[in-house]
Structure 1
Amino acid sequence: MTSSTTSIQIQLAARPEGWPAQEDFRTVQIEYGELKPGQVRVENLYLSVDPYMRGRMTDAPSYVAPYALDETLTGGAVGVVVASASDAVPVGAHVLHAFGWRDVAQEDASSFRIVEEIDGIPLSLYLSMLGMTGLTAYVGLTAIAGLQEGDTVFVSGAAGAVGTAVGQIARKLGAARVIGSAGSAEKVELLTARYGFDAAFDYKERPVREQLAEAAPDGIDVYFDNVGGDHLEAALDVLNRGGRAALCGAISTYNDDDKPAGPDNMANIIKRSLRLEGFTVGGYGHLAGEFQPLMAEWLRAGEIAYDETVVDGLGNTVQAFLDMMRGANTGKMVVRLSRS
């Protein structure tokens, strides 16, 4: 027989207009009763904050339902099972799930996936390289852009969680040249010195169109887009004939109140037989089975570099999200919770 417990959770109090602010969120206490048959109780160890969450805070049609006002936000999390009424998910198991933005989750066992502990690899990587972040990069390069050996690849927002994964996976899959953009000189240095990019530039320094043309004098074959806006426009300038673009995100426009202007060179799509395809990773879960063993092998061999920006404490989750939206993170932004 399990006792009841209190869960501290973060809810959406108001829909942000423009940039989100602290007052758009509230912290509440939720009481969980005794476990029902088939349920498990999980203490969260790491929470994920991601750019897509900003889109869900707006009440507009999208690929996934918006967050509801006055209800607890959701997102990726890794935790440990502390109570179980399910033989399939025992106490002590580490699990990956979608009940983030809280310290304790209590749901049906089918909502949690047991994850393997890998020596020397933190569990938080199931929120990045081993999880949705890494799978997003893999799907965009393979299933969407059809990466071929010898391709030149450009990655926008390359110092973020997805971007750092894209650059390295592209190299492992045979790309000949990988170019990235980032928002500071320090991040540009990281891309070339740590993540193996051949060239990188600071998009705040000069127009992206100028800098990308200089970094890719022979054009690019694949564009992995995390930013949209001026980056997409610059990519359309230099994509070679038959080039492919995997459109993953458009973080440059997420907080705009006005509709952004479209690229002025869309005719290049026709002239050069380009293919631009948007995607969300949710429709490609079937590829996780081929991706995760590959990534685990690369990580064990020390062939993949990763960085995490770790913020401690559930009470700092909102600030971590706001900082991530402004590019304050290098690699994946995660919130670490101390186990009670």
Structure 2
Amino acid sequence: MPAELPLPRTSREIRLAVTPDGLPEATHFALVETPIPQPGPGEVLVRNHHFVLFAGLRTLMGTENDGVPLPPLRGGDTVIGPAVGEVVSAPDSSPLRPGDAVTHLLGWREYAVLPADQVLPLGDELPDPVAYLAQGSAAYGALTRLTGVRPGDTVLVTGAAGAVGTLAGQIARLLGAGRVVGTTGSPAKAERLVAELGYDAVVVRGAGEFAPQLAEAAPGGIDVLLDLVGGEQLTAAVEAARPGARFALVGALSGQLDGGRGGGSAPAGIDTYRLIVKGVSVRGYTGADHPDVEAEWTRRFGAWLRSGEIRFPYTAVAGLENAPRAFQELVEGVHFGGVVVEVFS
């Protein structure tokens, strides 16, 4: 990234124009031009290069966001999200200097001002700054801290074609899984998961009754579940569980992306008797409970990327102005892998 750039007088950003009633669409956002933000004492000015879209934004925009670690978004608010960029100016007391590559949470804008302690410098663990936007940390943490993966395990990843799922299956294999099964809503995505990312089998939601398809894809049952969806897929996973299976709940897209719900609930019918007699453990994963995971994941992810043992699939979207449409497409399940918006090249 270049170290010195002339500053414009204005900066563009994407705001939530109105709070959506149901699932967000591109028309719910507005591209706004504002004076370039001026840093105060102890603050850093960052020029954003890329930011990543994530489905959890729907919860922030919804009516059910109690307990969410990020602030809710309402009409008029500038949208947020993980970003990478370069420091334009920093206080003398900060170790950051102009030109430093950094990451922070104020994406969806060209320039961001943040307290210096909310801006993290990028190291050299990853070969590309964009890789710092990969959403594999939660999957890695859940598989190493909650479930473990034993040699020969059959691992099921629901929502396998999304930003987390495309990495989760590869991580499970690298940790020793013997068979990796995924789920998705698209036959084309199912083919890519097998051909490009090494999934052994993929269940396509909507192609028939889900539970029988899962039983065919994992005829011996499953040992580990990394659940990003919930709903009927979690219900079926309980039936497919082997004795002593370990379940990690990482996402709840069946509820978050249900236009009839508020974005922060995902009911599922679970046969608790089966959990008892099979000795199945079910645990939810949050990164805040495992603060050591991020650094460990970054080190291992970097080594796997450099050795070619893992891929980081994502769709690149050029232009800040195209972020609202790309986010609607993410909600609709159009994209394969992550979705990264390029603000400045």
Kept after mapping to 2: 8 A contact 1:178/1:198: yes
The whole-number CA distance in structure 2 between the counterparts of 1:216 and 1:231 is 14
Which amino acid in 1 is paired with 2:299? P
- Note the alpha carbon deviations across 1:75-98, whole angstroms, 9 max, x for none: 100111223334411111111110
The whole-number CA distance in structure 2 between the counterparts of 1:31 and 1:24 is 23
- Note the alpha carbon deviations across 1:156-190, whole angstroms, 9 max, x for none: 11111111111111111111111111222221111
Equivalent in 3, 11, 15 of residue 7 of structure 1? 11
1:110 equivalent in alignment to 2:117: yes
Of all paired residues, the percent bearing the same amino acid is 36
Kept after mapping to 1: 8 A contact 2:18/2:74: no
Gaps in structure 1 of 5+ consecutive residues: none
1:75 equivalent in alignment to 2:77: no
The whole-number CA distance in structure 1 between the counterparts of 2:38 and 2:230 is 47
Kept after mapping to 2: 8 A contact 1:17/1:257: no
The whole-number CA distance in structure 2 between the counterparts of 1:203 and 1:224 is 17
Deviates more, 1:170-179 or 1:58-67: 58-67
RMSD: 2.1
What is aligned with 1:202? Answer: 204
1:100 equivalent in alignment to 2:104: no
| 1:1-340 pair list within 5 angstroms | 5-32=9-36, 34-60=38-64, 61-64=66-69, 65-86=71-92, 87-117=94-124, 121-128=127-134, 133-254=135-256, 255-258=258-261, 262-263=268-269, 265-339=271-345
- Note the alpha carbon deviations across 1:209-265, whole angstroms, 9 max, x for none: 111100111100111111111111110110111111111112122234257663253
Q: Secondary structure at the match of 1:270?
A: helix
Q: Secondary structure at the match of 1:102?
A: coil
Deviates more, 1:89-98 or 1:192-201: 192-201
1:42 offset after TM fit, Å? 1.2
Kept after mapping to 2: 8 A contact 1:5/1:33: no
1:297 offset after TM fit, Å? 0.7
Kept after mapping to 1: 8 A contact 2:227/2:249: yes
- Judging changes above 3 Å, is the alpha-carbon distance between structure 1 residues 113 and 265 closer, same or farther for their aligned structure 2 residues? same
The whole-number CA distance in structure 2 between the counterparts of 1:33 and 1:50 is 25
- Could you tell me the TM-score, scaled by structure 1's length? 0.91
The whole-number CA distance in structure 2 between the counterparts of 1:221 and 1:42 is 45
- Note the alpha carbon deviations across 1:40-84, whole angstroms, 9 max, x for none: 221111111101111111233133242244221211001112233
- Judging changes above 3 Å, is the alpha-carbon distance between structure 1 residues 33 and 154 closer, same or farther for their aligned structure 2 residues? closer
Kept after mapping to 1: 8 A contact 2:87/2:98: yes
Deviates more, 1:278-287 or 1:225-234: 278-287
The whole-number CA distance in structure 2 between the counterparts of 1:289 and 1:123 is 15
Q: How many residues align?
A: 333
Which amino acid in 1 is paired with 2:68? Y
The whole-number CA distance in structure 2 between the counterparts of 1:261 and 1:127 is 30
Kept after mapping to 2: 8 A contact 1:35/1:85: no
- Could you tell me the TM-score, scaled by structure 2's length? 0.90
1:280 offset after TM fit, Å? 2.4
Which amino acid in 2 is paired with 1:164? T
- Note the alpha carbon deviations across 1:112-152, whole angstroms, 9 max, x for none: 11113568x43211110xxxx11111011111223223211
Which amino acid in 1 is paired with 2:143? L
The whole-number CA distance in structure 2 between the counterparts of 1:112 and 1:39 is 9
Which amino acid in 1 is paired with 2:72? P
Q: Which structure would you say has the larger RCO, counting Cα contacts within 8 Å and 6 or more residues apart? A: 2
Deviates more, 1:242-251 or 1:85-94: 85-94
Kept after mapping to 1: 8 A contact 2:254/2:266: no
The whole-number CA distance in structure 2 between the counterparts of 1:62 and 1:291 is 25
The whole-number CA distance in structure 2 between the counterparts of 1:228 and 1:187 is 19
Deviates more, 1:255-264 or 1:151-160: 255-264
The whole-number CA distance in structure 2 between the counterparts of 1:231 and 1:319 is 28
- Note the alpha carbon deviations across 1:294-321, whole angstroms, 9 max, x for none: 1111111111022111111111111111
- Judging changes above 3 Å, is the alpha-carbon distance between structure 1 residues 91 and 62 closer, same or farther for their aligned structure 2 residues? same
Gaps in structure 2 of 5+ consecutive residues: 1-5
Q: Secondary structure at the match of 2:168?
A: helix
What is aligned with 2:3? Answer: none
Deviates more, 1:322-331 or 1:254-263: 254-263
